[in-house]
Chain A
Amino acid sequence: MSKNLRINNKQFVDETRKLSFIFNGKKLYGYKGDSLASALLSNDIHLVGRSFKYHRPRGIMTSGSEEPNAILQIGNDDALTEPNVRATEIELYNGLVCNSQNCWPSVKFDIGGINNFLSPLLPAGFYYKTFMWPASFWEKYEYFIRKSAGLGKSPIKQDPDMYDHRYLHCDILIVGGGVSGLIAAKIASDDNKKVLLLEDKELLGGSLIYDDSDISKIDNQKSSEWLRKFIDNIKKDKNIIIKTRTSLAAYHNYNFLLARQNLTDHLSVNERNNKIRQRLYKIRAKKVIISTGAIERPQVFHNNDRPGIMLASAVKKYIDYYGVRCGLENVIFTNNDSAYETALSLHKSGTKLNAIIDIRDNSSSEIVNQVKNLGIQIYWNHTIVDTKGYKRINKVTVMRLNDKGNDVIGKKIELNCDCLAISGGWTPMVHLFTQSGGKLKFDNKDNIFVPDKTNLDQLSIGSAKGDFELDDVLKNSIKYTKKFLNIENSNFDKIDVKCSKEKEKKNIWLLPSDRPLSKTKPFLDYQNDSTAKDIKLALREGFKSIEHVKRYTTTGMGTDQGKLANMHALGIVADTTNTNMGDLGTTTFRPPYTPLTFGTIVGRNVGQFFDIFRKTPMHEWHVDNNVKFENVGQWKRAWYYPKDGETMHDAVQRESKAARESSGILDASTLGKIDIQGTDANEFLNRVYTNAWSKLQIGKCRYGLMLNEDGMVYDDGVTTRLGENHYLMTTTTGGAANVMSKLEDYLQTEWPELDVFLTSVTDHYATASVCGPNAKKIINKIFKDLDLSDESFPHMSFKEVKLGDINCRVMRISFTGELSYEINVEASYGKHIWEKCIEAGKEFNITPYGTETMHLLRAEKGFIIVGQDTDGTMTPVDLQMDWIISKKKYDFIGKRSLYRSDTIREDRKQLVGLLTDDPNEILEEGAQIVKDENKKPIDMLGHVTSSYFSPTLKKSIALAVLKEGKQLKGQKLLVPMIDKTIKVTVSDTIFLDKENERING
């Protein structure tokens, strides 16, 4: 720390706690309470970055979130490093490591600086006009463009930090803990409202809390003193919840707001362990009060971007809050009174102020008079026409303005300085207001946009509303808040405020220079290097809308999102095109207000919490038996159970052989199950399935096919009639939730007259499906008293039976073509019944099989899987399942669509079987089928939907959808692969047991 830059300041900075940090490899010191920016400044470091395009040296310019230049890479750990952090917003901690970005080899000597000399070739939008020849070279140009673009570096390892979400509800949300927000909070609290107050800084009080001026007084006390006591009061108020280090990120419709709280970024790295880094608050507020303040504008003149050029308000804050002088030889350049507060702060702190340059003719306000009395040289009606100093400003050149303010006259005056404090007036922070959909209006007197109309229950107060002087801020905030909350009287109605009043105003968006504009560099957007020239070029080229100008010149598109640049850009467009700024409108302010970490947005929903795991009650058994799982929707389904290093193919061959030759067992718990009850349940099924249900007897099961209203197959499954008015429907695993929703929709909205109740019972029951020639023997061992004879318990029927105290629903249904029983029990008994089956089946080599084997077994029988053999474009007729469409029923979901001109075409794609000429060749699922592979363009007839090697048939089999497939049985076709063409023959879809004999064991 440079001794002559530090001012003794015990109030906000703790000089007893010295902290070390590393900037660009150099060890430096600051104090607890410093921001990284103030610590750098106290070490006489202004130059911290290079600009995006021209790589011009840039210094710290502000003290807040509008900072365009001091954007640093924090940390050098591969996982913890963070790009593009504003030095002005980060609190200094011990051991902080930071580096300049976008420069090579160093911020002091940056090769990219050559761009500054090429700048005549790089006007706005130059890249649209070149890099086009030769055509193939764009990618080579682009490689270099990409390399030079970007600011910091992304981490390259996984973030170990935790992030969190929390919901908050309140009567009144107050955004911004400056004086207006605090007063509003108190008024609301006194009215017994639940108040939530957010402040993005560590401390409450805004800029008034460190204001050392003795001009402004509240109730006859120094305003900062008054405020300090007031804050102590607020903190004790039980109605007010205060969240500091919490910045409002987004203001959405219906008063839904997002705020981010920083919890550890101000701590040293070893203090952060096991703490949540950031928390996202999702806030629902009945009413919202925006008191986010205003930010100071720079002025736009030639070479206004050198390190050492700072906003006047920032210079003041560094002195009054952080106790840091930004320079030893200061000059102020202003168009308004507020910079005179900086002058007083400089004076009070004993810092040299060489001169004030003011574009106004004069000012007679109290504060200016005070400065005048100090004998400080003020150049009225003057402007800066140039600055000198490559890595730090060392001179300004000043000239007199002409009467119109559009040119300069007289002699050049040169003034020395190492810090130039500039002020172009103030811009209310209306970002949140506009994000919420509010409309702005332009105030011609102050050249500002202020909140106007809104649909939401919200209020803007303080300088965010356009009140800049303390008496207006307080009195209007009180008045508006009372009106907003419908309050007659408040405890502040007699508040007495004194302050200096500004009388003279003058604003020139682009200050004139002694050189032609083309020879100057008056920057608007410091980060993106866009200048007033660029704006004018865009206008000359026909870009008229402000959005066009913004996009063409990239003004306002940096990480500060135009907080400093936008007003000047608008002003220059308005002046150039002779338009009123109010008619021009603003560009859209998009959320978030300040950048929001992805991790914060996602919160805890990462890693294993990314999505729900749905596990069947038998899950642990599968794990213990070396299962491989398949993701089906949210479910983990047993896929196959490899033994002793088996491949999936080996395992599936073994599993399916066992199921066909002796017995297999499948966990079918994931199938969707819907309990249907009511006197109209039967009619309901008639309407939702294509087939007829009227004659289904109690205790019997039936397969059903469900269509979408567009006639395409939607879902399928077996439904069992449990009682007179009671059915249990099963659906596909992946389709369960959608089927349930669809059925509820029809029931509630189309057929409310039906007496039907639906309950999803998928999770309530576990299902073990035992199949194979020995299935009956196994079931018999478990349910000794159950009559399993075909007469008593035929295929497609159901029995209720007890196993000890466990109620079991046993269905004799089959998806494999084998004799097969599905035992349904309450979920908590699932593992028990599964183990019972395994135990009973031991002597029959009962083999657990997964979805892969299940798919193979059903494919041998030609059973479809909805979603695999269908894709939303297949009708039941296409699937050659005409038999399932009831001819008698007047209507069912999707029926009408089956008779449209396209759906009745004979040459649609239809489900067929395919056999490869080489029985060992297994087709790839998804492979396309053609007749002639030499014809161009090639005519694709269809594709392979399911394909397996059948150990039972000892050949490969496949299902496919094929144009005019029904007509093509026996035809030879081709399946062209990348490296070969496979010959196939179209076959029937049933490959095994066409007579359905195995179903009886």
Chain B
Amino acid sequence: MFLINCPYCGERDQSEFVSGGEAHIARPKQPTELNDDQWAEFLFMRKNIKGVQFERWNHVHGCRKWFNVARDTSNDKIEKIYKMGEQPPKL
């Protein structure tokens, strides 16, 4: 049970949040230009990193804001939390 420091509300119990998976997979601006492989890459393929992963979380039972988290998936340690639209930190 992590403690997640929501950038809008502060530190809260993990049960208030839901994970949205890998971050920085922008929806293609021109989907129709992509072939099936490229579209599948966007839709389904994930790095699924063991180590520090940049991921999206939503404070669903709180402010309902989405934000980014850099978390080490091998020990669940949260390294950094940053807002949507911000660049991932260099760790």
A contact residues vs B (CB 8 Å cutoff):
252-254, 256, 284, 437, 455, 709-710, 741, 744-745, 748-750, 752, 890-891, 895-897, 899-901
Q: Is the CB of B32 within 8 A of A455?
A: no
Q: Is the CB of B39 within 8 A of A752?
A: no
Q: Is the CB of B2 within 8 A of A897?
A: no
Using A741-B58, A741-B60, A891-B32 as known contacts, say yes or no to A896 and B2 having CB atoms under 8 A apart.
no
Q: Is the CB of A253 within 8 A of B1?
A: yes
Work out how many contacts link A and B, with CB atoms closer than 8 A.
53
Using A284-B3, A741-B60, A748-B66 as known contacts, say yes or no to A896 and B75 having CB atoms under 8 A apart.
no
Interchain residue pairs with CB less than 8 A apart (5): A744-B58, A744-B66, A891-B31, A895-B32, A897-B43
Q: A897 — which chain B residues lie within 8 A by C-beta? A: 39, 43
Q: Is the CB of A896 within 8 A of B3?
A: no
Q: Is the CB of A254 within 8 A of B43?
A: no
Using A253-B1, A741-B60, A748-B84 as known contacts, say yes or no to A896 and B66 having CB atoms under 8 A apart.
no
Residue from the list B13, B36, B56, B77 in contact with A455, Cβ < 8 A: B77
Which residues, 43 to 91 on B, are CB-close (under 8 Å) to A? 43, 56, 58, 60, 64-66, 75-77, 84-85
Q: Is the CB of B84 within 8 A of A752?
A: yes
Q: Is the CB of A744 within 8 A of B64?
A: yes
Which residues, 1 to 46 on B, are CB-close (under 8 Å) to A? 1-3, 13, 20, 26-28, 30-32, 34, 36, 39, 43
Residue from the list A254, A741, A748 in contact with B3, Cβ < 8 A: A254
Q: Is the CB of A890 within 8 A of B32?
A: yes
Using A748-B66, A752-B85, A900-B36 as known contacts, say yes or no to A710 and B43 having CB atoms under 8 A apart.
yes
Using A709-B43, A741-B58 as known contacts, say yes or no to A254 and B36 having CB atoms under 8 A apart.
no
Using A252-B1, A744-B58 as known contacts, list a sample of 5 further A-B pairs with CB atoms less than 8 Å apart, ordered by residue number in A. A709-B27, A709-B43, A745-B58, A749-B66, A895-B32
Q: Is the CB of B43 within 8 A of A745?
A: no
Specify the chain A residue showing the minimal Cβ separation from B1: A256
Tell me, in angstroms, the Cα distance from A190 to B7 when the chains sit together: 34
Q: In the complex, how many angstroms separate the beta carbon of B72 from the nearest chain A beta carbon?
A: 10
Q: Is the CB of A901 within 8 A of B36?
A: yes
Q: A437 — which chain B residues lie within 8 A by C-beta? A: 75
Q: A891 — which chain B residues lie within 8 A by C-beta? A: 30-32
Specify the chain B residue showing the minimal Cβ separation from A902: B36
Q: In the complex, how many angstroms separate the beta carbon of B37 from the nearest chain A beta carbon?
A: 10
Residue from the list B13, B30, B66, B77 in contact with A745, Cβ < 8 A: B66
Q: B1 — which chain A residues lie within 8 A by C-beta? A: 252-254, 256
Q: A256 — which chain B residues lie within 8 A by C-beta? A: 1, 3
Residue from the list A254, A284, A750 in contact with B27, Cβ < 8 A: A750
Q: Is the CB of B26 within 8 A of A750?
A: yes
Q: 3 tightest CB-CB pairs across the interface, nearest first?
A: A896-B31, A256-B1, A748-B66
Specify the chain B residue showing the minimal Cβ separation from A895: B31
Residue from the list B31, B43, B65 in contact with A748, Cβ < 8 A: B65
Q: B27 — which chain A residues lie within 8 A by C-beta? A: 709, 750
Residue from the list B2, B13, B32, B85 in contact with A253, Cβ < 8 A: B2
Using A749-B56, A890-B32, A895-B31 as known contacts, say yes or no to A254 and B2 having CB atoms under 8 A apart.
yes
Q: B20 — which chain A residues lie within 8 A by C-beta? A: 745
Q: B32 — which chain A residues lie within 8 A by C-beta? A: 890-891, 895-896, 899
Q: In the complex, how many angstroms separate the beta carbon of A433 from the nearest chain B beta carbon?
A: 15
Tell me, in angstroms, the Cα distance from A748 to B76 when the chains sit together: 25
Q: Is the CB of A253 within 8 A of B76?
A: yes
Tell me, in angstroms, the Cα distance from A252 to B77 when the chains sit together: 13
Q: B65 — which chain A residues lie within 8 A by C-beta? A: 748
Q: A748 — which chain B residues lie within 8 A by C-beta? A: 65-66, 84
Specify the chain A residue showing the minimal Cβ separation from B36: A900
Q: In the complex, how many angstroms separate the beta carbon of A675 from the nearest chain B beta carbon?
A: 14
Q: In the complex, how many angstroms separate the beta carbon of A281 from the nearest chain B beta carbon?
A: 14
Q: B13 — which chain A residues lie within 8 A by C-beta? A: 284
Specify the chain A residue showing the minimal Cβ separation from B11: A284
Tell me, in angstroms, the Cα distance from A748 to B84 when the chains sit together: 8
Tell me, in angstroms, the Cα distance from A897 to B43 when the chains sit together: 9
Q: A284 — which chain B residues lie within 8 A by C-beta? A: 3, 13
